[in-house]
Amino acid sequence: MSQLDKLEQLAISLHCDVRNQEPMRKHTTFKIGGPADLFIVVNDVPALQAVYTAARELSVPCMVIGKGSNLLVRDSGIRGAVLQLGGTFLDIALEENNVLKAGAGASLATVCGYALQQSLTGLEFAWGIPGSVGGAVFMNAGAYGEEMKDVVLTCTHMHPDGAVETCTAQQLEFAYRSSVYQKTRGIVLSVSLQLQKGDKQAIKAKMDDLMGRRKDKQPLEFPSAGSVFKRPVGYFAGTMIEQCGLKGKTVGGAMVSPKHAGFIVNTGEATCQDVLDLIALIRQEVKAQTGILLECEIRAVGG
C-alpha cells in the first residue's frame, strides 16, 4: 500500500469526503488546474489534526485551500493531498460584545450576510470578496480602504505539528495582503471578528454600493483570481498595465481584461501556463516601461 493509499484510508475512516485525482479547476475561481492526487474535505478539528499529522509522518505533501479564489494551480496538478475545511469549519456564531465567531471554511459572503442579519457593521468591505474566512486571514484580504486586520480580534490556528493555539490580531503580523501564516504555515481554524451594532439599512446600502462598484469595474463575467498583482507603493497595478498598452493582450486562453487591466481572465480554455506566460510578459513590459517590477498577489501552486 502506498503512503497516499494509507492517508486515503485514514481520511475515509475519519468520515472525510475523499476524492482521487480531483481536477483542481473545479475548486478554483480561475477554473484552471490539473488534478490533486487526493482531495480531502475534513469536517472537524480532530480529523484535521489526524490527517495533517499523518501526512507529515507519511511524507505526503499536504496543503489547505479555501475557496481557491487567489490560486493558480499548475496544469500538472498537485502531488499529495489538498485539504478543504467543511463540516464544523463552516459554523458561524454570535458571541458577547458584538463578536462574531466564524469557522475558517465559511465563505466571506455567508459571514457578511450573517453580520447584516444581526445588524453588525464593520465587515461590509468584504462583501464581494469570493474567499473563505481562512483564506481571507491568510491573505489579509481587503477592499475599499479596509482589510481583515481591522476586524480580526483573535484567531485560532493549528500548528503543522497538530497543536492548537489562539492568538490576538497583534500576533498575526498583518500587513498589505500578508499575515504571519504565510511564514509559519499554520492552519487557520476559526476567527473572532470584532464588529459593532449598526443600522441594518445602512449596512445593506453600503454592501450594495460596494457590490455595484465591483460589478461596474471588474470582469466578474469571466473566471479569474481577482487582482493578479499587489499594488506597488504609490501606484495602481491595473493603471500601469493599461498605460503600458497591455489591455486585451492574450496568451492562449488567458487575457488581460479589457475591463480592468489588473485582472487576467480565463476566456474559456486557458491553461496555467498561458496565465504564467502572460504574467511574465506583463512584468517584463511594465518593468521596461516604468522601471517597476510588479509582485504577484495570486499564488501559483502545484507542479
Ligand X SMILES: Cc1cc2nc3c(=O)[nH]c(=O)nc-3n(C[C@H](O)[C@H](O)[C@H](O)COP(=O)(O)OP(=O)(O)OC[C@H]3O[C@@H](n4cnc5c(N)ncnc54)[C@H](O)[C@@H]3O)c2cc1C
Residue type, 196: Q
Nearer to ligand X by C-beta: 15 or 215? 215
The catalytic site residues sit at 177, 227, 297
Least Cβ distance, residue 83 to ligand X (angstroms): 9
Least Cβ distance, residue 226 to ligand X (angstroms): 3
Residue nearest to ligand X (CB): 66
Nearer to ligand X by C-beta: 93 or 245? 93
Nearer to ligand X by C-beta: 87 or 130? 130
DSSP letter, residue 230 = P
Closest CA to 82 of 159, 19, 132, 164: 19
Residue ranges in contact with ligand X by CB under 6 A: 29, 63-71, 85, 104, 129-132, 134-136, 138-139, 141-143, 181, 187-188, 218, 220, 224-226, 299
Residue type, 291: G
Nearer to ligand X by C-beta: 23 or 119? 23
For residues 166 and 246, what is the distance between their CA atoms, to the nearest angstrom? 45
Least Cβ distance, residue 180 to ligand X (angstroms): 11
Least Cβ distance, residue 234 to ligand X (angstroms): 19
Closest CA to 209 of 125, 147, 129: 125
Question: For residue 134, what is its C-alpha cell?
Answer: 481562512
Helix (H, G, I), strand (E, B) or coil at 162: coil
